[in-house]
Each structure stands twice: as structure tokens, then as C-alpha cells.
Amino acid sequence: MLRALVMTAHDVDLKIINAKVPFVSEIEPNNLVECGIAINDGLIEQVAKPDNLPKSDEVFDAKGMVVLPGLVDVHAHLRGLNLSYKEDFDTGTMAAVAGGITTVLDMQNTDPPTINPENLKAKKESAKSKIVADVGFFSSIPDDLINDLPKMIDLGIAGFKIYPLHPYTKYDIYDRDTVLEAFLKLSGCKLPICIHAIDVSSKSIKSKNKGALEQDFGSDEITNFLNKHPPELEASAVKFYSEIAISAGVHIHISHLSSLKSLEIFKLGLKHIRDKKNGLFKITADVSPHHLFLTKEELKRRGAFAKMVEPLRAKEDNDILWHALKCGTLNIVASEHAPHPKQEKEKSFSEAPSGVPNLETMLPMMYTEVLEGRLTYKRLIEVCSENPAKVFNLEKKGMIREGYFADLVVISNTNEKINPDNFFSKAKHSPFDGRIIKAKPYATFLRGVKVYEDGEILAKPGCGNIIRPFH
């Protein structure tokens, strides 16, 4: 229910009227309330019936559309710097706000990579005049943790990332003693350590389904790719990092968890927390849209345009991931936006880079599930906005609540096909090309400022903030 609030004594900057806002609970997970939102100095000042709202300098009429908290995307590659031909901080954040995403956490594997305070400063300097969404930055675990860790924390790093498939520092190596050393040194900083879970020490592991794969796909590049990245390697890595994290007492976050086998290991970590065997250990995980909506059969149709690591899995993996997401086992949906020029993805399958763009398709795809009755408003908000902000300690984000930032997205119903030619991202392709969506962002507000409306970017470059986690 809407709370009765005392009227403010002054006018506000903006008032959103004729909106439908989810006020949800376990009992009413799809409850929408017709109300308005008063915004002042970038913050939500009041959520109430229209007659109870203060006067405002500006009014936005939502015309009965649903208003959600802006999405918080905790896994995106905005590229920039020497990779700006793939994506830059302006095009990436334009794609974000067009997709209803108001906060983006950018990954470390840029050129130069974010591996030390100097490179982090250079990235922040490049981004600050371009971004139109709020942006935070991950880093690899620096080689010189003793000297660099305090500096990285002071610079506001969002967390650390381990990427054993492509080592950037000595701590990306898949070695227990090395990883334990890093985790022990990081245990006091309370920052999440994101894991790309792949066991690079066990490349000889073959999928138990290899015979079926070769029968289904033939002995070709796609078959070889799937055999090199079986679910067993991901599950083995989840177990490896979880056990070390338990010993060190740190928070690890599994990025783009993709398989039933990995989920089973992840659940063992959650049981360890429930049993209160180590109060400092914490484990969370996200899942990406392509691992929810697509199967490895899509590789037959789209080839490299559906190539990513971890690869698409079987339908049974999709089904169990959806169940885990709905029931609360998985915490977050993250885009894993990894843009590449279309001409690079048009190369042969083995030569084409891994990764697909997702910033502009994630919310339309997920919201369509709500409209079709397969996902509740409550869970949509939790996994796309509220939980990402909580897990990564982003203050005043992820909820429509008084005192929170007025990061909002207004949703319009539609019935159209995804067309990558219309993307703001430089990556004009998508594994969801041609898929029907029933909703899309109509307008996006960042701290009360309208940055996107009806297909047009209204934001001024640099209007986004470089953010830091709250400790």
C-alpha cells in the first residue's frame, strides 16, 4: 500500500503522473498501483496518489504506462580506449539507457586492461565526458595487491574479476595456492570477486554428450567449440573457487552461470552459508539472457552470431536456470553485453570473437516474460534492479522508494521484432534478431533527468556519474 506522507513545503523539479508502479509482495507479486512520483534534486521525494503530490516545475505524463526502477547491469563490456572501434563509453551507455538500464558495471578486459590504479584512472578519465548512464568499473586482481589495493579502493573500484581463460595478472592463473593468497589479501576489503568459471587446467575433459553432439552437429567447428567448453569445466571451476572462498572468507560472484551442473555446485555453496559454517563467506551468481532464452541449437542457425563463452547449453539447462531464477536461487540477470563489429562476427566460426550485445534487448525480453505470465513484477525488479544494487553495494539504487535516486524506466507495450540495425550500440547484430517482443522502454530517467524518450537519446555526453560502492 502507498504510505501517507506529509506534504513537502516546497515545489519539486519533476512530477511523473498517471503511472502504474509495482508495489509488490509475496502475496501480491504483480500488484500495480496507479500513482505519481515526485522528484527533487535527483532523488525520489514522494510516491503517492496524484492529488497528494506537490507542485512541480516539470510534469511527465506516463499515460498509464508502467514505471520500473532503472535496471542495474553488473556485467557489461563498454570497451572504449583502444577497443573503441567495437564500442565506446558514449555508444555503450546510450545503448544502456535505450534499454532501460541506468547503471552499468564495466568489466576489466579492455585495452589496456584494468589491472592497476594507473589504468583505472585512464579509463575513468576517458569515460567521464562521454557516459550518459552511471558507470562503475571492475578490475583484475592487481599483481601488487599490497600497494595497489588501497589505491583501487580509494578510486572506487566496484569489485574484482578473475578470468583464467585470458590471464591479465598472476592471480588469473588456475592454481589453488595463488588464488588463496589473493583471496586472503582481499578478505578485508569486502568487495565481490567475480568469477568467469572455467577450469583451464582440465581441457582434456570431454563432454559426456560428445557422441550426441557429433551426431547433431557433425564434426565441425561448432562441435569442436562445444566440446572444448563442456558444462563439466564450468562446474569444476565453481567448485574450485567456492572451496577457496570458504577457506578465505570472501564474497565470490559467479558470472553468467550457464548449466545445471554448475547450479548444483552453486547450491552447495548456498547450503554452506545456511549452515553458518563460515560467516564471512558469501556466494552469489548471475545468469545472462542468452542462457535463459537460447539453446545450443541456435548455433546451427546463427553460427558465430550466437557464439559466446560460456556457450549456449541444452534446453534442460535453460529450464533449470529459469526455475532457479524464479524461486530465488539465482540472484541477478546481467546482460554480459560483449559487442563486436558485425564484420568480425562474419568471419569463420573459429576466427570470430565470442560475445553478443545485450544492453538493448535484455529488458524487452524479460518484460515480455512478465506480460506472458511466466515471470512476476516482483521477481523482475529483484533480479534486474534491486538485487544487483544490493549485491554490489550500490547505495540508493534499484528501487522506487523515497530517498532513492530517481533512476526510472517507463515501459510501453508493443508487438514488434528486434531489429539490430536500430541499436545505439556499435554492434549491429543480435542472437535475438527477429524475435517478437511485447514491451520496450519508452522513456528513461537518470537521477530525475530524462535521458531517453521514444527512440531518441536526450542526454548530454558526460551527464552520467562514475559511481563507487558504498562501504
Do 162 and 37 share a structural domain? no
Task: Check whether 5 has a pLDDT greater than 80.
Answer: no
Tens digits of residue pLDDT in 324-361: 999 999 999 999 999 999 999 999 999 999 999 999 99
Average pLDDT, the chain: 94
Q: Is there a domain that residue 388 lies in?
A: yes
Domain of 50? 12-64
Q: Which of 346, 370, 396 is the last residue of a domain?
A: 396
Predicted local distance difference test score (pLDDT) of residue 386: 98
Tens digits of residue pLDDT in 35-90: 999 999 999 999 999 889 999 989 999 999 999 999 999 999 999 999 999 999 99
What pLDDT band is residue 279 in, cutting at 50, 70 and 90? confident
- d(CA 332, CA 310) in angstroms, rounded, equals 17
Q: Is there a domain that residue 254 lies in?
A: yes
The four Cα atoms 436, 131, 398, 53 give a dihedral, to 10 degrees, of -100
Q: Is there a domain that residue 386 lies in?
A: yes
Question: Which residues lie across from 165 on neighbouring strands?
Answer: none
Task: Check whether 231 has a pLDDT greater than 50.
Answer: yes
Q: Which of 23, 47, 64 is the last residue of a domain?
A: 64
The answer to whether the CB of 352 falls within 8 A of the CB of 374 is no
Do 181 and 99 share a structural domain? yes
Do 221 and 142 share a structural domain? yes
Do 131 and 45 share a structural domain? no
Do 260 and 133 share a structural domain? yes
Q: Is there a domain that residue 442 lies in?
A: no
Do 141 and 233 share a structural domain? yes
Percent of the chain with pLDDT over 90: 91
Do 56 and 75 share a structural domain? no
Tens digits of residue pLDDT in 6-43: 444 569 999 999 999 999 999 999 999 999 999 999 99
Do 129 and 27 share a structural domain? no
Do 141 and 26 share a structural domain? no
Do 123 and 29 share a structural domain? no
Please give the model's pTM, rounded to 2 decimal places. 0.96
Q: Is there a domain that residue 454 lies in?
A: no
Task: Check whether 210 has a pLDDT greater than 70.
Answer: no
Q: Which of 352, 378, 396 is the last residue of a domain?
A: 396
What pLDDT band is residue 215 in, cutting at 50, 70 and 90? low
The answer to whether the CB of 158 falls within 8 A of the CB of 138 is yes
- d(CA 307, CA 294) in angstroms, rounded, equals 11
Do 32 and 129 share a structural domain? no
Q: Is there a domain that residue 103 lies in?
A: yes
Q: Is there a domain that residue 116 lies in?
A: yes
Task: Check whether 463 has a pLDDT greater than 50.
Answer: yes
Q: What is the CATH number of the domain that holds 229?
A: 3.20.20.140
Q: Is there a domain that residue 80 lies in?
A: yes
Q: What is the CATH number of the domain that holds 31?
A: 2.30.40.10
Higher-confidence residue of 398 and 1: namely 398
Tens digits of residue pLDDT in 322-331: 999 999 999 9
Tens digits of residue pLDDT in 33-50: 999 999 999 999 999 998
Write the secondary structure of the chain as one string of H (helix), E (strand) and C (coil): CCCCCCCCCCCEEEEEEEEEEECCCCCCCCCEEEEEEEEECCEEEEEECHHHCCCEEEEEECCCCEEEECEEEEEECCCCHHHCCCCCHHHHHHHHHHCCEEEEEECCCCCCCCCCHHHHHHHHHHHCCCCCCEEEEEEECCCCHHHHHHHHHHCCCCEEEECCCCCCCHHHCCCHHHHHHHHHHHCCCCCCEEECCCCCCCCCCCCCCHHHHHHHHCCCHHHHHHHHCCHHHHHHHHHHHHHHHHHHCCEEEECCCCCHHHHHHHHHHHHHHHCCCCCCCEEEEEECHHHHHCCCHHHHHHHHHHCCCCCCCCHHHHHHHHHHHHHCCCCEECCCECCCCHHHHCCCCCCCCCCECCCCCHHHHHHHHHHCCCCCHHHHHHHHHHHHHHHCCCCCCCCCCCCCECCEEEEEEEEEECCHHHCCCCCCCCCCCCCEEEEEEEEEEECCEEEEECCEECCCCCCCCECCCCC
Do 334 and 202 share a structural domain? yes
Name the domain count of the chain. Answer: 2
Q: Which whole number is the average pLDDT over 260-267?
A: 98
